[in-house]
Amino acid sequence: MTHTNMTIDQRILDRRSTIPFLCPYQLGLKQGKRALKRRSGSGAAYVDTYSTYIALCTIITIILSALDALLTLNILARGGIELNNFMAVLIDDSTEKFVSIKLALTSLAMIFLSIHHHVELTRSLKVKHLLVLILIGYSTLICYEAGILLYASKY
Q: Are 128 and 54 in contact (CB under 8 A)?
A: yes
Residue 106's domain comprises 57-154
3-state secondary structure of 120: strand
Question: How many domains is the chain partitioned into structurally?
Answer: 1
Q: Is residue 137 part of a domain?
A: yes
pLDDT band for position 95 (cuts 50, 70, 90)? very high
pLDDT of 12-45, one tens digit each? 666 666 666 666 665 666 666 665 555 555 555 6
Q: Is residue 34 part of a domain?
A: no
> Does 71 map to a domain?
yes
Q: Do you know the residue count of the chain? A: 155
Stated pTM of the model: 0.71
pLDDT of residue 116: 87
Distance in angstroms (rounded) separating the CA atoms of residues 58 and 75: 25
Residue 41 lies in a domain: no
19, part of any domain = no
Mean confidence (pLDDT) of the chain: 83
Q: Does residue 73 fall inside a structural domain?
A: yes
